[in-house]
């Protein structure tokens, strides 16, 4: 873990629970794509920088989830590097309490105020094309998060952030976190058609051919959507739908899973309603979902 893996002469990634991209710039300067899950991840990255006599100039955050921005504060404090994040992700990175608050739908209890969902604040600036290294191209990858982006480097390496989960992860956990189902499916369609020297997803193995994994992720989304529609053959409220989905996929309920999977299921319900596959009605002051 935290081994530096070379992709090309200039492009690397740090093998970690959420891969950290590292790209050599001019001279001893390097930049990171994300920073890992916490201060300890930041320390591991700092050791790699020191061992290679590299100077960290910038961190480009793909999105604001804690496992991608958790090392920001430590690395910024140690190196003085700039940090950039796109769109709404910048606001969540600057004010990380927004993440568990968004997931829960209100003020998060202590069960959700921990480093896996609540990173430390860091000084972050808007990610625009003019702050990227020469030859870098941002790639819009919405769906998993609000304004998530990936990057294509001058060496034609594509860092894909969290737009794909590995087969092993999906087979184990079944339901991956999504914010916008429609946008996510469109992202997967674009990614499936991409070519590159190497793709580096944050939560799957680096590969030269990303299309099979993109298709697998899309099929899983459509499977979950179909299962939700089937569950709603009779009118049910959200809690009943969530309970039946957990049972169907063998997921164990705890506070974190309730927040993460619950938020995702609400996104599926909204998408299915907008697509005309589900309808809603109110009965005894309860919102009920039903197959159209």
Task: Find the DSSP H helices in 31-86.
Answer: 39-51, 66-69, 72-79
Structural domain ending residue among the three candidates 80, 105, 134: 134
Per-residue confidence (pLDDT) for residue 3, from 0 to 100: 97
Enumerate long-range contacts of 237-242, CB under 8 Å, 24 or more apart. Answer: 237/286, 237/287, 237/288, 237/289, 238/262, 238/265, 238/266, 238/269, 238/287, 238/289, 241/265, 241/269, 241/289
pLDDT average, residue stretch 97-101:
98
At 59, which CATH number?
A: 3.60.15.10
Q: Is residue 156 part of a domain?
A: no
The pLDDT tens digits for 55-65 are 999 999 999 99
Per-residue confidence (pLDDT) for residue 204, from 0 to 100: 98
Q: Is residue 69 part of a domain?
A: yes
Q: Is residue 212 part of a domain?
A: no
Q: Is residue 262 part of a domain?
A: yes
Q: Between helices 255-274 and 181-192, what is the axis angle to 10°?
A: 80
Structural domain ending residue among the three candidates 101, 117, 134: 134
The pLDDT tens digits for 205-261 are 999 999 999 999 999 999 999 999 999 999 999 999 999 999 999 999 999 999 999
Distances (CA, A) of 157 to 135, 176, 291: 11, 25, 43
pLDDT average, residue stretch 141-163:
98
Per-residue confidence (pLDDT) for residue 222, from 0 to 100: 98
Q: Is residue 116 part of a domain?
A: yes
Per-residue confidence (pLDDT) for residue 158, from 0 to 100: 99
Q: Is residue 176 part of a domain?
A: no
15 and 127 both lie in a single domain: yes
Q: Is residue 274 part of a domain?
A: yes
pLDDT band at 99 (very low <50, low <70, confident <90, very high): very high
118 and 13 both lie in a single domain: yes
Instruction: Name residue 200's beta-bridge partners.
Output: 159
At 271, which CATH number?
A: 1.10.10
Per-residue confidence (pLDDT) for residue 258, from 0 to 100: 97
The pLDDT tens digits for 62-92 are 999 999 999 999 999 999 999 999 999 999 9
233 and 118 both lie in a single domain: no
Per-residue confidence (pLDDT) for residue 150, from 0 to 100: 98
Structural domain ending residue among the three candidates 70, 105, 134: 134
Q: Is residue 10 part of a domain?
A: yes
Per-residue confidence (pLDDT) for residue 156, from 0 to 100: 98
The whole-angstrom separation of Cα 247 and Cα 222 is 18
The pLDDT tens digits for 266-286 are 999 999 999 999 999 999 999
pLDDT average, residue stretch 24-50:
98
Q: Contact at 8 Å (CB) between 28 and 56?
A: no
State the total domains in the chain: 2
11 and 122 both lie in a single domain: yes
Domain boundaries, position 91: 3-134
Instruction: Centre a 10 Å sphere on the Cβ of residue 15 and count the other Cβ atoms it contains.
Output: 13
11 and 126 both lie in a single domain: yes
111 and 232 both lie in a single domain: no
DSSP code for 129: G
130 and 16 both lie in a single domain: yes
Q: Is 3 exposed, middle or buried (0-12, 13-18, 19+ CB in 10 A)?
A: exposed
pLDDT average, residue stretch 186-210:
98
Instruction: Name residue 139's beta-bridge partners.
Output: 150
């Amino acid at each position: 873990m935290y081994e530096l893996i070379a992709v090309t002469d200039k492009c690397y990634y740090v093998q970690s629970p959420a891969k950290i991209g590292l790209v050599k710039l001019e001279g001893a300067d390097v930049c990171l794509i994300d920073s890992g899950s916490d201060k300890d991840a930041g320390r591991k990255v700092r050791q790699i920088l020191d061992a290679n006599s590299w100077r960290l100039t910038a961190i480009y955050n793909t999105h604001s989830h804690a496992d991608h921005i958790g090392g920001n504060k430590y690395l910024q404090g140690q190196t003085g590097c700039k940090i950039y994040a796109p769109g709404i992700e910048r606001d969540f990175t600057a004010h990380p309490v927004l993440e568990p608050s968004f997931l829960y739908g209100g003020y998060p209890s202590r069960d959700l105020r921990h480093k896996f969902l609540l990173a430390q604040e860091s000084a972050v600036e808007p990610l625009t094309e003019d702050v990227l290294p020469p030859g870098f191209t941002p790639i819009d990858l919405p769906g998993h998060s609000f304004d998530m982006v990936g990057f294509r480097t001058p060496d034609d390496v594509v860092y894909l952030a969290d737009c794909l989960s590995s087969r092993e992860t999906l087979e184990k956990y079944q339901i991956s976190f999504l914010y916008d189902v429609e946008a996510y499916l469109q992202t997967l369609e674009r990614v499936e058609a991409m070519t590159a020297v190497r793709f580096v997803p944050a939560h799957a193995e680096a590969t030269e051919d990303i299309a099979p994994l993109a298709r697998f992720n899309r099929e899983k989304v459509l499977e979950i959507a179909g299962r939700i529609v089937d569950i709603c053959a009779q009118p049910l409220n959200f809690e009943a739908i969530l309970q039946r989905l957990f049972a169907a996929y063998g997921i164990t309920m705890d506070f974190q899973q309730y927040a993460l999977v619950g938020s995702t299921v609400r996104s599926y319900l909204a998408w299915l309603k907008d697509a005309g596959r589900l309808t809603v009605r109110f009965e005894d002051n309860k919102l009920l979902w039903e197959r159209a």
